[in-house]
């Protein structure tokens, strides 16, 4: 009796399964390399973003006209790189200098935090009191403040390496176009690669410039309000506001919470806390919901949901620094995926409306 024949698999199905298997393995290896190589990759990515910011500042300086005189490109580039250097060094200096002072004041704020928790528990009843006490037992506000400032100053301790990267990028920027021509097999490939890189650079420059401008406005407003109320460490809090606002959505919450919490811990009355929460919170809301969208428009075209997912992903991969780098890296990923047909569905998912600009700037269709 003949045995029943087993239906043979299609070669096409086998090849598709093999492709998905290779993709899954490659993706897992890539994630592992990104995770393990963060000590090397984070300073390099920070340097690339700072250099991109320097290019954006260069464009703004070259667009200026002072009594009929326009700054030459070399001067604009020198001023832009110098401003990035000085700004980054200033952030590192402030963080390093304030870390010790905050560590010394931390026990006082820890005691104030426990006193406020006890007062809130007394006002809100026995059941709430027991819940608050259980929550407060595991919170050491002094250690938290010290660890935050220590981690910030430690992250900025790589400032020399980052600035060296930026210096060499600026030195080799002029020769980069010739390198592309030599790397690619033909002129058309070099032109296409140059257009893709220019599209990434333009949109990341836009993000970096607008984020820096709006973060600076919010930090100045925070410093003015905190200083007028006599809140301690107003400069440090303004620095935290400036850095935190680079994180989409969550950054504004962190900025307002940090400023308000310091006012609550320092003073015996609740009035300064309410002033900071309402006045600075209102100013930051105007910046985040009115000024920034007006200036930025739809230049990034990044889905807000995907932006939050990218913040969570890169925060998991690279810690706090990864959260700051998430948006520009996701924008770059979206642009690169848009240039390769097999990856365009991923770019459409990352975009806010599904309309993808090509490297030349024109808008492509919504369907892959």
CA-based Rg of the chain, rounded to a whole angstrom? Answer: 25
Q: Which residues contact 136 (CB under 8 A, 6 or more apart)?
A: 113, 114, 117
Q: Is the pLDDT of residue 1 over 60?
A: no
Q: What is the pLDDT of residues 177-222, one digit of tens each?
A: 677 777 776 777 777 777 777 777 787 778 778 888 889 999 999 9
Q: What pLDDT score was predicted for residue 38?
A: 83
| Average pLDDT of the residues in 101-109 | 67
Q: Is the pLDDT of residue 367 over 60?
A: no
| Average pLDDT of the residues in 330-354 | 80
Percentage of residues in the chain having pLDDT higher than 90: 7
| Average pLDDT of the residues in 224-252 | 86
Q: Is the pLDDT of residue 303 over 60?
A: yes
CA end-to-end distance (rounded Å), the chain: 52
Name the pLDDT band for 135 (thresholds 50, 70, 90).
low
143 or 82, which is more confident?
A: 82
Q: What is the pLDDT of residues 49-82, one digit of tens each?
A: 888 888 888 888 888 888 778 888 888 888 888 8
Name the pLDDT band for 281 (thresholds 50, 70, 90).
very high
DSSP string computed for 115-156: HHHHHHHHHH-HHHHHHHHHHHHT--HHHHHHHHHHHHHHHG
Nearest to 242 by CA among 270, 267, 222, 216: 216
Name the pLDDT band for 361 (thresholds 50, 70, 90).
very low
111 or 337, which is more confident?
A: 337
| Average pLDDT of the residues in 85-100 | 72
């Amino acid at each position: 009796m003949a045995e029943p024949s087993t239906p043979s698999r299609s070669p096409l199905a086998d090849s598709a399964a093999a492709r998905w298997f290779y993709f899954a393995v490659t993706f897992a290896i890539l994630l592992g390399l990104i995770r393990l190589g963060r000590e090397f990759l984070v300073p390099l990515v920070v340097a690339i973003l700072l250099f991109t910011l320097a290019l954006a500042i260069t464009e703004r300086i070259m667009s200026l006209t002072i009594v009929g005189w326009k700054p030459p490109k070399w001067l604009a580039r020198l001023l832009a790189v110098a401003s990035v250097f000085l700004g980054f060094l200033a952030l590192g200096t402030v963080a390093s200098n304030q870390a010790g002072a905050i560590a010394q004041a931390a026990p006082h704020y820890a005691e104030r935090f426990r006193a406020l928790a006890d007062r809130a528990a007394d006002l809100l009843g026995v059941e709430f009191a027991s819940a608050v006490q259980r929550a407060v037992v595991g919170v050491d506000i002094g250690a938290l403040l010290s660890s935050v400032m220590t981690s910030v100053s430690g992250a900025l301790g790589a400032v020399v390496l980052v600035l060296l990267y930026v210096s060499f990028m600026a030195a080799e920027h002029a020769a980069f176009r010739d390198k592309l021509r030599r790397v690619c097999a033909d002129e058309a490939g070099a032109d296409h690669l140059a257009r893709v890189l220019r599209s990434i650079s333009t949109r990341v420059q836009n993000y970096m410039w607008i984020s820096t401008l709006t973060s600076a406005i919010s930090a100045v407003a925070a410093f003015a309000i905190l200083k007028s109320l006599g809140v301690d460490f107003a400069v440090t809090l303004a620095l935290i506001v400036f850095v935190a606002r680079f994180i989409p959505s969550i950054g504004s919450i962190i900025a307002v919470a940090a400023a308000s919490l310091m006012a609550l811990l320092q003073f015996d009355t609740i009035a300064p806390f309410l002033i900071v929460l309402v006045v600075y919170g209102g100013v930051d809301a105007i910046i985040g919901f009115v000024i920034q969208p007006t200036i930025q428009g739809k230049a990034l075209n990044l889905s807000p949901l995907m932006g939050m997912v990218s913040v969570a992903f890169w925060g998991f991969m690279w810690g706090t620094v990864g959260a700051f780098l998430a948006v520009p890296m996701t924008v770059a990923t979206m642009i690169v995926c848009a240039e390769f047909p097999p990856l365009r569905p991923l770019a459409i998912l990352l975009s806010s409306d599904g309309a993808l600009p090509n490297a030349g700037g024109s808008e492509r269709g919504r369907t892959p």
